[in-house]
Structure 1
Amino acid sequence: MVVGGSGVDTIVRVGALPVPQADSFAVPPIREWAGHTGTGVALGCAALGLSTAFVDFIGADHEGELVRERLKGTGVDFDPMVSPHGTRRAVNLVSPDGRRTSFYDGRDPLELRMPPEHYFPYLRRTRHVHLSIMHFARFLFDDIAELGVPVSTDLHDWDGLADHHREFALRSDLVFLSAAGAGERIGAVMREILREGRAEAVIATAGAGGAYLLTPDDSTPRHVPAAVPAAPVVDSNGAGDAFVCGFLHGRLAGHELEECARLGTLAGAHACTSEGTHTALITAKELRAAAAEEEEPAAELRAPSLTP
């Protein structure tokens, strides 16, 4: 069950990031895609064969219809409530090497709440909940805990300081985040999450640098090498969400945490090989084949240390 995080991405391809200062630029055709993190996790999990429900707020607007159309026929049981504040959106600048800068319009007011009668029918029969860090989603934690359902979350580029993310970090069983947000402090942030929260594992994704896995049994984060994409990298939008899907697929199948992280890197690499957001969804068969064929790179870059 995925809670929150639908929206629409407007993709603008630029010559370089950061964009040089100028009054205007000529760019390739600008595209709109139904995307954002919750959509990506729901679509990715369904493509991997997991029975997936998705609850959220969307607007009665053009963007909301794009989200509905994208999820139609995918196997995702999408049950949105209509928000008068409209559908979330983002403008993402994407460079030729696939890197991106995102301008996010979350637009949900702080007082927005999802009634329990809307999500309880799904919550009572789910094996796992993935909470996007929408403000309204934090109010589901008590009900999730009462039912004893495992929960994961993605903190994205949390710096370890912003208060908005902290409850999600400390009340989730699996915590994902990007290594970029905290920079050299990422190792300390991962240890803090384990020390102060309930997580069985913290996983920091590092793009082409792979990922880092930390459990209560580890003294330092374990490096998981990046997977080599099967085709050229053209767009990193949605790669982190794909990593989460690959990891959750492995965990729900009973794999060890390090193997789950390896499956995550394979799914994330696959997502980078097509333009747009959540347009290349790896299937369970493709993921198994990629895992079986994966070979150690001839010359692996040394992973940076994550000691404090």
Structure 2
Amino acid sequence: MNRDSAQYDVLVVGGTGVDTVVRVDSLPVPLADSVQVGPIEEWPGHTGANVALGARALGLAVGLIDCIGDDWIGARVRELLAAGDVDFSPLISPAGTRRAVNLVDADGRRMSFYDARDPDDLRMPRDFYLPRLRRSRHVHLSIMNFARYLFDDIEELGVPVSVDLHDWDGLADHHREFALRADLVFLSAAGAGDHTPQLMRAILREGRASTVVATAGASGSTVLTRDGGATPHHIPAVAPPAPVVDTNGAGDAYVSGFLYGKLAGRGALECGRLGAIAGAHACTAPAATDPISLERLLAAHQIA
């Protein structure tokens, strides 16, 4: 893809790094001086890379811009995105590439220790990101602090923007601007728990979003639209097509499937079903390393 003339279906901003995956029998891990585990693995990815790779596997033209380190971790990220045919344009950050240590139990559940490492004053130069925004049908912002400074230009250009708030509880200030300035908002019900429907309604009431989606793992997801009433619509979870290996990246895969549907002109509830299929598929491979193809997504959707 020629970067100077590329037209992106989706431009992903931020959210790359490397996970160190430690497999344990159960969570929480018992307090001990030493715990014997299986092979410890390093997997490049993180939320932005996972969304980009998932969307690309579904046939969308995808660009990704981020700040990474000139280090071996960043090299792993570059290799992953090149192999997945994502047009990756990184800036070098002196703080290095982000990392996380993820404990994963026998059922595929995880606990993540995230090393964000970006300094508060990290910014993307406007002359770097603006030409790419202009060539994009849709922008997906990871909730990196520097990404919030793109909102004004995104709004001025009129490009639709989505965000994933992950497990926001509705209180943490870091997430609030992302929640209220995006057109499409994803979040995990793990953060707000029983208050998730109220939080979804508040995002629609106070922000600019037309659609809010809350994922809840095996309990499915809920979709609330500005013109669809006050009660979120439930989307059942989809049974994974193979044994569950790892839930890392399942939410990112859901986002990719949903974005594919949205850009194809499908309704919000159908987009949610596509997201559920993609998320279930992601659980059958370690660290979301096998994003679902468009052919398999549509075949599974037809069966459902």
1:252 partnered with 2:263: yes
1:243 partnered with 2:254: yes
2: CA distance between counterparts of 1:257 and 1:105?
A: 34
2: CA distance between counterparts of 1:73 and 1:239?
A: 20
User: 1:1-308 counterparts in 2 under 5 A?
Assistant: 1-216=11-226, 217-275=228-286, 277-294=287-304
The Cα shift of 1:90 comes to 0.2
Amino acid at match of 1:113: R
Q: Normalised by the size of structure 1, how large is the TM-score?
A: 0.94
The Cα shift of 1:278 comes to 2.4
TM superposition outliers: structure 1 runs of 4+ over 4 Å = none
Amino acid at match of 1:19: V
> Is there any run of 5+ residues in structure 1 with no aligned partner, and where?
295-308
The percent of aligned pairs where both chains have the same amino acid is 65
1: CA distance between counterparts of 2:15 and 2:270?
A: 27
> Is there any run of 5+ residues in structure 2 with no aligned partner, and where?
1-10
SS, match of residue 291 in structure 2: coil
2: CA distance between counterparts of 1:127 and 1:50?
A: 11
1: CA distance between counterparts of 2:254 and 2:202?
A: 22
The Cα shift of 1:73 comes to 3.2
Amino acid at match of 2:103: L
User: What RMSD over aligned residues (CA atoms) do the two structures have, in Å?
Assistant: 0.7
SS, match of residue 288 in structure 2: coil
1: CA distance between counterparts of 2:303 and 2:34?
A: 45
Is the 2:201–2:230 contact (alpha carbons within 8 Å) kept by the matching residues of 1?
no
Amino acid at match of 2:134: R
Amino acid at match of 2:239: V
The Cα shift of 1:161 comes to 0.3
Aligned to 1:300: none
SS, match of residue 83 in structure 2: coil
1: CA distance between counterparts of 2:64 and 2:211?
A: 24
SS, match of residue 118 in structure 1: helix
SS, match of residue 127 in structure 1: strand
The Cα shift of 1:111 comes to 0.3
